[in-house]
Structure 1
Amino acid sequence: MTSSAALILTDDDGGHRHGEYKVPGGKLVVVDLDIHQGAFTNVSLSGDFFLEPDHALLDINRGLTALPETSTAAQIAAAVAAALPTDAVLFGFSAEAVAVAVRRALSRATSWSDHHWNVIAPVVLSTHVNVALDEVLTEEVGAGRRNPTLRFWDWEEPSVVIGRFQSVRNEINPDGVARHGITVVRRISGGGAMFMEAGNCITYSLYLPQSLVDGVGIADSYAFLDAWVMAALEKLGIKAFYVPLNDIATELGKIGGAAQKRLANGGMLHHVTMSYDIDADKMVDVLRIGKEKISDKGIRSAKKRVDPLGRQTGLARTEIIEAMMDVFSGLYGATPSELTEAELAAARERVAAKFGTDEWLNRVP
C-alpha cells in the first residue's frame, strides 16, 4: 500500500528534514522526519512503492524512530529490515533504498540535482594521459576544486587498457600487441581489459562525490550512475540493460562495461567503454580471453560477446556522443567545461611518474 503514517514522540527541536530517492528501475521513496536531541522523531515514510501488509509502513516508521542522527546507511537499513514483519513484501524499493532517502534527508547523501554538473566533450589525447586524467580529475572533484564532471575520451593510438588488478601476462598476447602496434596501459579501477582503437568505441568518465552514492550498494551504484545512458540509448532506439555486475547489454549482445574507483578524499570515478565498431578478430588476437572468462555467458566465442553500437543504431559515433551529452545535460542541468592547463599538466606528470612506467604497468605481472 502507499499510504503514509507518522509516529510522533516529542516536539521537534532540530528542524524538519525531507529526503527522496528514486530506485533505479524501481519506485520513489520519500522520508520526512524531525530531529530531537540527536535522534529521529516524527518519522514518515511514503512513496509510490508497494508494500504488504499495510501495517508494515508503521513498523518501518517505528523502527526508524529514536535512531541517532549519526546512523550510517547500513545501520538505517538494518533497522528497517529488523522492523519489518516476517511476511512483509517490498516491491519497487528496499531497506537500503529507505536508508538512502534518510541519509539525503540528513544532507549526508546527495542527489544529482544537489550538484552543478559539467560536461567535457571529446579531446584527442594519448591513452596514457586519458587514464592519468581519471585519477587527477577524481581527486579534484573529491577536493572540491572541480564540479562533478562527465568527460568523454578521444585518442588516436590503438590501445588496451587493463584493470588495476589484472595480470599483464594473463591478459595480453605479446605477439598480437606487437603485430598491431598496441599501447598497453593500466588504469586505477578494477574490472577487465578494454580493447580501444580510434573510433571503435565510446568511453566516458564520471567524476563525482561519493555522497551521490551514499547508501547505494556497490552493485546498485553501477546502474544508478548510468541511468542517464540508458535514457540516451533508448532515445536512439536501443533498449539497454545492466547485466550484473558491470556489463551493459541489449538483446543482441554486450555493448559495454563499467568500472569504478573510490578515493580517500571522497572523490569517485565511474567510467564506461561501449563498443561502436570493434574489430573482433583483432581484439581476440591481442587479448587472452580464456574459456573461464566466457564460461558463464552461454556462448562459444568471445567475438560474439560484443555487438557494436554502430551496427545497432546506424549512426555516426559523433552523433551518439552528442546525443549522450544532450541527454545528460537535459537531465542534470550540466554545462560545458574544458580541461584546464593545470589539469593537463598534472596528468602528464602522472604519466611520467606512474602511468607510463613499467613498474605501474607490471605491478601485477
Structure 2
Amino acid sequence: MRAEYKVPGGKLVAIDLDVVEDKLANVAISGDFFLEPDHALDILNKAIDGLPAESSFAQISSAVDEAITDDMTLLGFDSRALATVTRRALGKATTWDDHTFDIIHDQPAHPPMQVALDQAQTEFVESGARGPVLRIWEWASNAVIIGSFQSYRNEVDEEAANKHDVTVVRRISGGGAMFVEPGNTITYSLIVPQSLVDGMTFEESYKFLDQWVIDALAEIGIKAVYKPLNDIASEHGKIAGAAQKRLAGGTVLHHVTMSYDIDANKMLDVLRIGREKLSDKGIKSAKKRVDPLRSQTGMTREAIIKAFLEHFRSRYKTTESHVSEHERARAAELVNEKFGTEEWLKRVP
C-alpha cells in the first residue's frame, strides 16, 4: 500500500507499507522533507512498523513521538503528518480526490425545514445512503438562526423579530447567530465523511474545509483569508461565518453563511448580541447595509453562486443532484419533532 500527503505549508511525505497478519510491515517513509541525522529515517520506519493495522491516528502519532529523540530534527513534517499518510495508505483517511460530491442548488425553503435538511442529509451521508454533498440553500423567508448553545432571550429581540417578520430557529451546530433575508446571503452546507478530516483538530478542519471557497473568492476578486476559529474575512472585514457539527460516527456538517447585501439596521434591531459585537465597527451609525460580496465584486448574487459552483466542479469530482424524497420526508419529521418546536428553540432560554 502507498500514500502521499502534502503537509500544509510544509513538505511532501510518502509511505509504502504492507499489512501482514493485521500488523504494519515493511514500512518505508520517503519525501522531500528534511531530516537529521541520516539514521533517523530508520527510527521513524521502525516506530510505525509492527503497529496494528487498525491503529488510530492518535496511536500512530504517539508511537512516532515516542521514537523521536532530542538529537533528531524534522523539518517540513512531523508525527501528525506521518500518522495522516499512514492512515491514507490503509484507506482510513481520504483525500478530496477519493470522493465524488453531490452538488445541490436547492429550492427555497422556510427556516425550520432548512436546518432540518442539514441534519437529515448529514444522517444520510453518515449511513452511506448518499455520498458527500455540497448544498446551496435558498431562503423562503427572513430568519435568525441561533447556535445550538446560545440563549434565545439573550440573542433575539422577540418583539423586533415579529415586527420584521423574522422566523427564529436553532441549528444543531454551535457558534453565533446568523441573520438572513432571501436573496441577501449565500448559505451552503458541505457534508463530508470523517475520513476526509481524519486526525485534524477542529480548527484545522475549519481551515481545511473553507479553503476551496477562499480560493473561489480570489477568482472573483476578493482576497479572503481564514480567521480562527470560524470566520472568513477580507481586508475590509468579515465576509462569512462557519459552523460545524459532527455526528456520532464522525460525519462532518460544515455550513457557511456569507453576507451579500444585508440590512444592518434590521439585523441590529433583531439581534441583541449584534449590537455589542458590531459596536466597534460603526455599522449602526455609518452604514445601512452589510454588503461585502456585492460591494467588493460588483457581481449579482446569482453570478457569485455560479462562480463558486464552477470553481468547486473544476477542483473536485462532482455530480448534479437534488434533495431526495426520503431526505425531505426525514426533514419534515425533524421539523415536527424538533426544529419547529418551542422546546428545541428555547432549550437554552
The two structures have a TM-score, normalised by structure 1, of 0.87
| 1:38 paired residue number | 22
Say which of 25, 49, 58 aligns to 1:74: 58
Q: Distance in 1 between the 2:108 and 2:11 partners?
A: 40
| 1:112 paired residue number | 96
AA of the residue aligned to 2:177: A
Q: Distance in 1 between the 2:283 and 2:86 partners?
A: 44
| 2:227 paired residue number | 243
| 2:81 paired residue number | 97
Q: 1:320 to 1:88 in 2, by over 3 A?
A: farther
Cα drift, residue 146 of structure 1? 0.9
Select the structure that is richer in helix.
Answer: 2
Cα drift, residue 46 of structure 1? 2.9
Q: Percent identity?
A: 56
Cα drift, residue 337 of structure 1? 0.4
**Is the contact made by 2:134 and 2:188 (CA closer than 8 Å) also made in structure 1?**
yes
Aligned residues: 346
| 2:305 paired residue number | 321
AA of the residue aligned to 1:35: V
Q: 1:337 to 1:355 in 2, by over 3 A?
A: same
Deviations 1:318-361 (A, max 9, x none): 11111111111121110110112222222122111210100010
**Is the contact made by 1:252 and 1:307 (CA closer than 8 Å) also made in structure 2?**
no
Q: 1:261 to 1:46 in 2, by over 3 A?
A: same
Structure 2 gaps of 5+ residues are none
Range 266-275 or range 56-65, more displaced = 56-65
Secondary structure, aligned partner of 2:144: strand
**Is the contact made by 1:143 and 1:266 (CA closer than 8 Å) also made in structure 2?**
no
| 2:6 paired residue number | 22
**Is the contact made by 1:173 and 1:288 (CA closer than 8 Å) also made in structure 2?**
yes
Secondary structure, aligned partner of 2:320: strand
Cα drift, residue 63 of structure 1? 2.2
| 1:4 paired residue number | none
| 1:149 paired residue number | 133
Cα drift, residue 142 of structure 1? 0.8
Q: CA RMSD in A?
A: 2.5
**Is the contact made by 2:148 and 2:170 (CA closer than 8 Å) also made in structure 1?**
yes
Q: 1:39 to 1:237 in 2, by over 3 A?
A: same
**Is the contact made by 2:260 and 2:293 (CA closer than 8 Å) also made in structure 1?**
yes
Q: Distance in 1 between the 2:39 and 2:297 partners?
A: 48
| 1:161 paired residue number | 145
| 1:224 paired residue number | 208
Secondary structure, aligned partner of 2:55: coil
Secondary structure, aligned partner of 1:124: coil
Cα drift, residue 100 of structure 1? 1.5
Say which of 220, 231, 234 aligns to 2:218: 234
| 1:275 paired residue number | 259
AA of the residue aligned to 2:84: V
Deviations 1:231-281 (A, max 9, x none): 211111222221111111112211111111111244321111111112222
1:346 and 2:330 correspond: yes
Q: 1:67 to 1:343 in 2, by over 3 A?
A: same
Say which of 161, 173, 198 aligns to 1:177: 161
Structure 1 gaps of 5+ residues are 1-16
Cα drift, residue 52 of structure 1? 5.4
State how 1:265-304 maps to structure 2 within 5 Å. Answer: 265-289=249-273, 299-301=280-282
